[in-house]
């Protein structure tokens, strides 16, 4: 009798883990559709055999992917023709300007493979190096997805501080600077970015707004001599994980040297283990600390301490995405 109960319990546990894993399926399906341009292939409605033949794809695997998409509602069928659901076409196709596919790319090609190496890393295997040159464009693209929510907080801080000049460290594609340029007249704007592809994209994005003038510097902030004259505001958006706890102090010291007398710092950053963002920030810090050259995000208390030790005070802190543990943090000089 006892053995039977044990077996039932074991079965229920197995079922629980299987069910939890089922939630991975939509992300996997969307990722494959994005990477292999399959949502575009079925945009107008097409037969599976035609797509397999035209694109040289394995017909059996394609059929399995289609069957899964039909189950998930990512695709629909009319007789023999398969068609992509409108939301998938809009948000998960490479050709759509509203695509969030870069996020799936980052999750599947960066986060999950790294997290799967955890057992070896725990045993002391050499941590991999995050390849910023290879993944820089993806990471810059996914960070910029936050801008819509984060920008109003940044803009508010810039306006309230009456800044005339802004430096963005690790500016990525320059989205924050571009938005500031269009929202507040007369600002002097400088961005520094170490990844060459990313900085080229930032210059390209800005060139489509002829009235906007932003200086983009290609280089590593740690070796940069600075902008020549003091700036009123320094942005550090989504860059803390590139700096070890010690280097964060150096970053703040250098920022203080470059700031004008009443100059301030604004940050958009995840914080570790905030009350409503525990799960997300746990996943993030597992990923970051699995690399030899990335570092987990600080807790709120750690950020306050390091700011205090390097001549700053946390003046404002507001959630940008609560469940993601993403915050706006405004620092003033102490
Ligand atoms: C996660 S992205 C964030 C981009 C942008 N700030 C945003 O929030 O959308 C971080 C960027 O910082 C750049 N970066 C990291 N360390 C840097 C450094 N020491 N100097 C210049 N850029 C750096 C990376 O190349 C990357 O493009």
- pLDDT tens digits, one per residue of 153-178: 999 999 999 999 999 999 999 999 99
Spacing, Cα 199 to ligand 1 middle (Å):
10
pLDDT of 2 reads 83
Take residue 120 and report the two structure tokens written for it: 């070896």
Could you identify the atom of ligand 1 that is nearest to the CA of residue 268?
8
Query: How large is the average pLDDT for residues 107-133?
Result: 95
The number of the ligand 1 atom at minimal distance from the alpha carbon of 146 is 9
Tell me what the pLDDT averaged over the chain comes to: 96
Answer whether CATH 3.40.190.10 is correct for domain 2-98: no
Does any ligand 1 atom lie closer than 6 A to the CB of residue 239?
A: yes
pLDDT exceeds cutoff 90 at 103: yes
Res 318 pLDDT > 90: yes
199-219, pLDDT tens digit by residue? 999 999 999 998 899 999 999
Put residue 228 in one of left, alpha, beta given phi > 0 → left and psi -120 to 50 → alpha: left
pLDDT tens per residue across span 42-51: 999 999 999 9
Q: Whose CA is nearest to atom 24 of ligand 1?
A: 170
Which residue minimizes the CA distance to atom 23 of ligand 1?
170
The residue whose C-alpha atom lies closest to atom 2 belonging to ligand 1 is: 140
Tell me what pLDDT residue 105 has. Answer: 95
Å from CA of 194 to ligand 1 middle: 7
* Percent of all residues in the chain with a pLDDT value above 70, rounded to a whole number: 100
Give the residue, out of 140, 199, 202, 225, with the most ligand 1 atoms within 8 A of its beta carbon, to mutate for a pocket test. Answer: 140
The rounded Å distance from CA 191 to ligand 1 centre is 10
Question: Ligand 1: which atom is nearest the Cα of residue 172?
Answer: 4
Substitution site in 172, 177, 196, 265 for ligand 1 pocket (most atoms within 8 Å of beta carbon):
172
Mean pLDDT over residues 15-32, rounded?
Answer: 96
Question: Does 1 have pLDDT greater than 90?
Answer: no
Mean per-residue pLDDT, 176-195: 97
What CATH number belongs to 137-333?
3.40.50.150
Distance, CA of 223 to chain centre: 25
- pLDDT at position 49 is 98
Asked if 303 and 271 touch (Cβ cutoff 8 Å), the reply is: yes
pLDDT digits (tens, 9 = 90+) for 238-289: 999 999 999 999 999 999 999 999 999 999 999 999 999 999 999 999 999 9
- 6: buried, middle or exposed (CB in 10 Å: 19+, 13-18, 0-12)? exposed
Cα 132 to ligand 1 centre (Å): 9
Distance CA 278, CA 47 (A): 45
> What is the predicted pLDDT for the residue at 210?
86
What ranges do the domains of the chain cover?
Answer: 2-98, 137-333
- Which CB contacts under 8 angstroms, 24+ apart, belong to 90-95? 92/30, 92/33, 92/34, 92/39, 93/33, 93/34, 93/37, 93/39, 93/40, 93/43, 94/34, 94/37, 94/40, 95/40
Which atom from ligand 1 is nearest to the alpha carbon of 147?
A: 9
DSSP 283-295: HHHHHHTTSTT--
Q: What pTM did the predictor assign?
A: 0.93
Q: What spacing in Å lies between the alpha carbon of 292 and ligand 1's midpoint?
A: 17
Instruction: Tell me how far apart the terminal alpha carbons of the chain are, to the nearest angstrom.
Output: 69
């Amino acid at each position: 009798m006892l053995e039977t109960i044990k077996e039932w319990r074991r079965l229920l546990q197995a079922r629980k883990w299987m069910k939890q894993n089922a939630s991975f399926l939509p992300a996997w399906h969307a990722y494959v559709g994005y990477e292999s341009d399959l949502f575009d292939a079925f945009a107008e409605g097409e037969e599976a055999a035609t797509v397999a033949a035209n694109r040289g794809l394995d017909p059996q695997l394609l059929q399995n992917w289609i069957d899964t998409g039909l189950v998930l509602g990512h695709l629909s069928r009319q007789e023999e023709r398969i068609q992509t659901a409108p939301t998938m076409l809009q948000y998960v196709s490479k050709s759509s300007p509203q695509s969030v596919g870069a996020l799936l790319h980052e999750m599947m090609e960066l986060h999950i493979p790294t997290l799967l190496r955890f057992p070896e890393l725990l045993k002391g295997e050499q941590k991999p190096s995050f390849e910023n040159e290879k993944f820089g464009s993806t990471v810059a693209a996914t960070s910029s997805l936050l801008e819509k929510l984060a920008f109003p907080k940044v803009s508010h801080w810039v306006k309230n501080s009456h800044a005339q000049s802004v430096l963005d460290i690790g500016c990525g594609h320059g989205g924050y600077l571009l938005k500031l340029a269009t929202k507040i007249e007369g600002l002097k704007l400088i961005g520094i970015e170490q990844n060459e592809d990313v900085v080229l994209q930032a210059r390209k994005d800005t060139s489509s707004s002829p009235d906007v003038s932003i200086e983009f510097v290609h280089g590593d902030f740690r070796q940069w001599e600075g902008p020549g004259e003091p700036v009123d505001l320094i942005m550090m958006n989504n860059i803390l994980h590139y700096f070890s706890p010690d280097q964060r102090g150096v970053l703040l010291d250098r920022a203080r040297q470059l700031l004008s007398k009443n100059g301030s710092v604004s940050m958009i950053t995840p914080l570790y283990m905030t009350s409503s963002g525990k799960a997300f920030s746990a996943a993030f810090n597992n990923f970051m600390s699995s690399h030899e050259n990335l570092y987990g995000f600080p807790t709120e208390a750690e950020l306050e301490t390091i700011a205090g030790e390097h001549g700053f005070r946390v003046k404002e802190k507001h959630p940008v995405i609560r469940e993601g543990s993403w915050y706006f943090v405004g620092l003033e000089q102490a």
